[in-house]
Amino acid sequence: MKWYYCLVHNRVEPEKGCANSERLGPYDSEEQASHAFEIARKRNEQWDEGEQEWTQGYTKGREGDAAHDVD
């Protein structure tokens, strides 16, 4: 069974609950679903870090590349 965190009712719900557009999940356990906001925050931080690394690598690769310079 999968679990969700309902954003409308601010509680953990089983699969049969509110519409998925109003929930975070699915999670493998009720316990995981109860930490949905913390899990989402950590995932967002990891995504942001990865994006910064990618952007920095892209910028370094373009240094001195006159073909991409636009005036």
Q: How far apart are CA 20 and CA 65, in angstroms?
A: 46
Q: Is residue 21 one of the residues assigned to a domain?
A: yes
Residue 39 included in any domain: yes
pLDDT at 56: 74
**Structure token pair of residue 8:** 């409308």
pLDDT higher at 36 or 49? 36
Say if 67 falls within a structural domain.
no
Q: By residue range, what is the domain housing residue 38?
A: 3-61
Question: Is residue 25 a part of any domain in this protein?
Answer: yes
List, in sequence order, every beta strand (DSSP E) within the chain: 3-6, 11-14, 23-27
**With bands split at pLDDT 50, 70 and 90, how would you rate the model's confidence at 64?**
low
Query: Model's pTM, two decimal places?
Result: 0.66
Domain total of the chain: 1
DSSP state of 16: S
In a domain, 50, yes or no: yes
Answer whether residue 37 shows pLDDT above 60.
Answer: yes
Q: What angle do CA 29, 33, 21 make, to 5 degrees?
A: 120
Burial category of 45 from C-beta neighbours within 10 Å (exposed 0-12, middle 13-18, buried 19 and up): exposed
Q: Is the pLDDT of residue 19 over 60?
A: yes
Considering the domain boundaries, does residue 53 fall inside one?
A: yes
- What was the pLDDT predicted at 20? 95
Any domain includes 68: no
